[in-house]
Structure 1
Amino acid sequence: MHKAIVVFEVEGGSDKSIDGHRRDTMPIVNAIKASGWHAEVLFFRPEWADELFRYAAANFDGYLSRVNPGNIPGGEDGYLDLLTRLSDAGLVGMSTPAEMMAYGAKDALVKLNTTDLVPADTAAYYDVAAFHRAFPTSLSYGERVLKQNRGSTGSGIWRVQLLDKELAATVEPGTALPLDTMLKCTEAVDNHTEIRPLGEFMDFCDQYILGANGMLVDMRFLPRIVEGEVRILLVGPHPVFVVHKKPAEGGDNFSATLFSGASYTYDRPEAWQELVDTFAGARPVIAEKLGGDNIPLIWTADFMLDTATDGSDTYVLGEINCSCVGFTSELHMGIQELVAREAIGRVEAGLPAGIPA
């Protein structure tokens, strides 16, 4: 054992500070070093892949990925291939490509739609024909949210509703709406709204399905999203803090991203104990449904408020993220030390992708 962990980044992107690193990267590196281990940052470029593999495989016991998929030069395939090769060579991956896909892909919601965490009518479209065949009927049941698998900060996440409110109130559920039905479509990235015919909007959304790992998730719109989205950030099995993200008021705003004007409130997990306990209890089911007992190193689970049939509050899982979760605003809480301890513990345990929940 080298007692060394390599941290991967890419050059450029809006998530970088003046030193060229993500703002939470060097705090993690320094925390690993303070624990008596070596840590080093390497930048990925496609043309360096073989050299990076040789160097990392020869000198490190594990890797930590701090790469936003949208910033990877040449697309994500080359980078994910490097991580897979390193895992095959014996390095402990945090997170491995398989882990990123199992937990971070939007269709994780579909795999959980038989649980109490996700509405049963949540669906995924993996080809254009299936999308065009099913979505006009899906929309007859009420407002929907379409989520692309790629992108971040709300890009390609659309709230879709019928423009004609009288039609929306009278349409027969299960009826395929005509392609000239006018829609009001609001994108989460900035809450901007577009008016489009159904057929034209579906043609536009085909781009999200085409290409590697393309898909669209079709989910019921939950009106109580205006009360805010609740994000739990975890390091391994440990909930660290909870963020209450409230969309900007007015119009059809529903996005909970900072870019769209949402306000964030940071709380200790104890302030949301019921939700934290509920999620902890569901983790074994999540692991089973998503294909493994291992959980990511740094990850988040986003929940939205809904109302149960008895009128009580309930929470619906909206998304899991684990590819490159940041915690810059919370460095004062010492999260980097917990990350370092958890990462070192995983390498020492020699597990392939993390500690079982």
Structure 2
Amino acid sequence: MKKRIVFFEAVGGTDKGEDGHRRDTMPMVNALSTHGWTGEVIQLSDEILRDENESKKIYEFVRDNADGYVSRVNPGNIKEEKLYFEMLRKLCDDGLVGMPHPDAMIGYGAKDALTKLADTELVPDDTYAYYDIATFKSTFPKSLAKGERVLKQNRGSTGEGIWRVRLENAGDYGKFDSLALDTKIICTEAKDNHSEERKLGEFMDFCEQYIVGDNGMLVDMTFLPRIKEGEIRILMLYKTPVYVVHKKPAEGGDAFSATLFSGAKYRYDEPKEWENLIGWFLERLPEIRTKLGNYDLPLIWTADFILDTDENGKDKYVLGEINCSCVGFTSPAEFMAKIAVMVGENIVNIVSEKKA
């Protein structure tokens, strides 16, 4: 075993520090050194990935000199994601340990992961994914007729393209099997909690942009009003919960977004303070892994939950999203050094086990 790990980053982007690296990358590299391992950062760009000679050099270097890689490329920082994933897939086929495997990034990180879990206790069974415009336009008027919904695009971040959609006249829910195109609706985007009054047909035309293109899709799920009480995010290192973030949306109006940009307030808790949720979630990891392609769990990932109420009036948790492409752990600052050490230990253990 070479005891060498490559960390892939993207050139540029707003997620870099003064040294040009993500602020959580070098702490992980340094953590590996305490175990006698070497970490090396390779930065990629669209130009490098398009250049067959340059990309081949990088691929061959990593193949011949490393035991595995850790992907720290933020979605959106590289447009040539397909070429990037092809390189990662080849490295995994060559026997390197992918953290994560590119298909795991797709399986866990794509919004339609929710639909693959819709027959479990984690997600409501009326959760849909639209991969073509025709299906979206024929099905969404039916789902909205039953109650308030949330539409989530597959691309984007910080709440962009995530819409809370409700009827202007709430008394019309349940009256129709399907809504007319001129039905008046109110749409609130999670990015900044701004609301717009629109007609259903016009809004669906607007949403076509989220479906077209590579990996385009829309996920349609029921709106859970208890999001106002806060979204609960579990930060996971492989199989271990590290901390829980309670993200309370801003007060007033139609606000439902749990992003900092929208004014949400964050509180960081130890896992033991959410013992019931953590225990329930960890019991379901084998089922989640099976449903999402049976790939190994990501190295650093998050699961977001929203409170709901069951038929007996008791609290229950609903999975709203999984993130795993490039989850950061720079906040809160006092946690970063501790987490980096834990990441280093996980990397050594995962690779050693896989290479044994």
The answer to whether the 8 Å contact 1:65/1:323 transfers is yes
The answer to whether the 8 Å contact 1:284/1:293 transfers is no
Superposition deviation, residue 177 in structure 1: 0.7
TM-score, normalization: structure 2? 0.95
Superposition deviation, residue 351 in structure 1: 6.3
The answer to whether the 8 Å contact 2:244/2:269 transfers is yes
Partner residue of 1:127?
132
The question of 1:255 aligning with 2:260 is answered: no
Once residues 62 and 159 of structure 1 are traced to their aligned partners in structure 2, the CA distance between those partners, rounded to angstroms, is: 41
Partner residue of 2:65?
59
The question of 1:24 aligning with 2:24 is answered: yes
SS at match of 2:76: helix
Partner residue of 1:340?
344
CA offset digits 1:93-141 (Å, max 9, x no partner) = 0011111111111111111111111111011111110000100111001
TM-score, normalization: structure 1? 0.95
Once residues 194 and 35 of structure 2 are traced to their aligned partners in structure 1, the CA distance between those partners, rounded to angstroms, is: 47
Partner residue of 2:279?
277
Superposition deviation, residue 330 in structure 1: 4.0
2:165 to 152, 157, 160: 160
Write the letter of the residue equivalent to 2:58. Answer: L
The question of 1:350 aligning with 2:354 is answered: yes
Further displaced range: 269-278 or 48-57: 48-57
1:193 to 183, 192, 195: 195
Once residues 8 and 288 of structure 2 are traced to their aligned partners in structure 1, the CA distance between those partners, rounded to angstroms, is: 27
Structural mapping, 1:53-202, within 5 Å: 53-72=59-78, 74-163=79-168, 165=169, 168-172=170-174, 175-202=177-204
Superposition deviation, residue 75 in structure 1: 3.0
SS at match of 2:114: helix
The answer to whether the 8 Å contact 1:184/1:196 transfers is yes
Partner residue of 2:7?
7
Paired residue total: 348
Instruction: Percent identity, please.
Output: 58
The answer to whether the 8 Å contact 1:2/1:59 transfers is yes
Q: Which runs of 5+ in 1 are unaligned?
A: 353-357
CA offset digits 1:197-242 (Å, max 9, x no partner) = 1111111111111111111100000000000000000101100000
Instruction: Flag the 1:173–1:138 CA change in 2: closer, same or farther, 3 A.
Output: farther
* CA RMSD between the two structures: 1.4
Partner residue of 1:355?
none
CA offset digits 1:318-354 (Å, max 9, x no partner) = 01111100100145330111111111111111269xx
The answer to whether the 8 Å contact 1:138/1:174 transfers is no
Instruction: Flag the 1:348–1:331 CA change in 2: closer, same or farther, 3 A.
Output: farther
Instruction: Flag the 1:162–1:49 CA change in 2: closer, same or farther, 3 A.
Output: same
2:208 to 191, 206, 209: 206
The question of 1:232 aligning with 2:234 is answered: yes
Partner residue of 2:307?
305
Once residues 309 and 173 of structure 1 are traced to their aligned partners in structure 2, the CA distance between those partners, rounded to angstroms, is: 23
The answer to whether the 8 Å contact 2:115/2:128 transfers is yes
Write the letter of the residue equivalent to 1:193. Answer: S
Write the letter of the residue equivalent to 2:329. Answer: F
Once residues 175 and 300 of structure 2 are traced to their aligned partners in structure 1, the CA distance between those partners, rounded to angstroms, is: 41
Q: Which runs of 5+ in 2 are unaligned?
A: none
Once residues 38 and 122 of structure 2 are traced to their aligned partners in structure 1, the CA distance between those partners, rounded to angstroms, is: 40
Superposition deviation, residue 88 in structure 1: 1.3
Write the letter of the residue equivalent to 1:6. Answer: V
Further displaced range: 84-93 or 125-134: 84-93
Superposition deviation, residue 77 in structure 1: 1.0
Superposition deviation, residue 182 in structure 1: 1.5
The question of 1:264 aligning with 2:266 is answered: yes
Partner residue of 1:295?
297
CA offset digits 1:63-92 (Å, max 9, x no partner) = 0000111111x3311111111111112110
SS at match of 1:252: coil
SS at match of 1:69: coil
Write the letter of the residue equivalent to 1:273. Answer: E
The answer to whether the 8 Å contact 2:10/2:43 transfers is yes
The answer to whether the 8 Å contact 2:104/2:293 transfers is no
The answer to whether the 8 Å contact 1:182/1:198 transfers is yes
SS at match of 1:241: strand
Once residues 209 and 287 of structure 2 are traced to their aligned partners in structure 1, the CA distance between those partners, rounded to angstroms, is: 32
The answer to whether the 8 Å contact 1:49/1:78 transfers is no
Write the letter of the residue equivalent to 2:179. Answer: L
The answer to whether the 8 Å contact 2:69/2:98 transfers is yes
The answer to whether the 8 Å contact 1:144/1:160 transfers is yes
